[in-house]
Amino acid sequence: MSVVLVGSPSAFLRMGLTRQLMQRWHNLQTIEATSAAEAMRIVAERAIDVAIVDEALLTERTGSNLAAALSLIAKRTVLIATGGAFRLAPTLRQSFLVIDGQIEGVLNMGAISSALPHALDHLVAVANRPYTPSATATTSRNPVSAKAAEAILIAASTGGPTALATLLRRIGSPPLPIIIAQHMPADQTADFARYLAADTGLDVAECCGGEIPSAPVVTVLRGGADYRLGRGKSGKLRLMAARHESNLIHPNADVLFASAAEAGIEVLAVVLSGMGEDGARGSAVVAARGGRVLVQEFSSCVVAGMPSATFAACPSATVASLRRIAEHLTRWTVADGCIVSG
């Protein structure tokens, strides 16, 4: 059975496309999305054979994330240019098969219906050729490092406190140091660390620099500042304050994740519920150097911005529930901190 994503804020366009698809293929499952965020969730959770997406979804705030994710579906995406193909950015015209759905400034379903069969025939032909991943996919899909993992880094924002407490309870006494970058003001993270300790029964401490306590201590970065993770002269992991004025939120997970990877520290990166895109760029750096990345499944997030942006930037990331993330982390680490096959 083929699975087709039909994405548009227009019920009329979704209905017309679905009807035409059902006439063409009887053994077909169509999944509809009305927004970029909903389409991102579907792409993350399901194997999609073909995507037919309204240009309007790519102009939303999370549209760039959706475009990046769709570009990895073996180029099997039809973009309906409901605003006129001439207005599309060159990158979109190069990435997707485009149908101009606007005739003389008006959405023309007849023109779309005429062009769609030819577009689908072309996609079938493309699907039968060997697929060469894009540069982004190649970078993100580097083999996982065989070296021992040294730490678990977790990024969270809106909805993060509850998700973190749930995740830590499921992990239990961690075999590796855990470092948490929860977006928070400086005067709130000490209380937050105490809350996590009381809720999970773990040893949780706020930290603003210096050597990282060894496991099973869980470290919460002090709010209001950014931190780089490096290695001290003794070889132990060490945090260094590194505030970046251009960052609007702190502690910044991109800075934390990327600095660890650039220092050659083997980490497991986790991105939980949160608004914005923090963690996406840092996760891509971690993955490019062979590290593993996990993101919270979008449907369980209070705000799915950070996980969806991370998945778009890092297609090799594992999208999972909090329970499954805890299971992965437990399975990927053993008493001596080595990564085992997953």
What does pTM read for this prediction?
0.63
> What's the mean pLDDT in 266-285?
93
Q: Is the pLDDT of residue 338 over 70?
A: no
Residue with the larger pLDDT of the pair 139 and 243: 243
Predicted pLDDT of residue 104? 63
Please tell me which residue in 71, 95, 157, 308 is annotated as part of the active site: 157
Please tell me which residue in 183, 250, 283, 316 is annotated as part of the active site: 183
Lowest mean per-residue pLDDT among 5-9, 118-122, 259-263: 118-122
Q: Is the pLDDT of residue 99 over 70?
A: yes
> What's the mean pLDDT in 43-70?
82
How do residues 201-234 score in pLDDT, each as one tens digit?
999 999 999 999 888 899 999 999 999 999 988 8
- Confidence band for 187, pLDDT divided at 50, 70 and 90: very high
Q: Is the pLDDT of residue 68 over 80?
A: no
Whether the bond into 216 is cis, omega within 30 of 0: yes
Please tell me which residue in 35, 259, 278, 316 is annotated as part of the active site: 278
Domains and CATH numbers, the chain: 2-132 (3.40.50.2300), 140-332 (3.40.50.180)
221, two tokens: 């970065």
Lowest mean per-residue pLDDT among 72-76, 178-182, 311-315: 72-76
Whether 157 is catalytic: yes
Whether 278 is catalytic: yes
Q: E strands, the chain, where?
A: 2-7, 28-33, 50-54, 77-81, 97-100, 102-103, 106-107, 151-156, 178-182, 204-207, 210-211, 218-221, 227-231, 237-241, 267-271, 292-296, 318-320
Q: Is the pLDDT of residue 31 over 60?
A: yes
Whether 183 is catalytic: yes
Predicted pLDDT of residue 189? 96
Predicted pLDDT of residue 332? 82
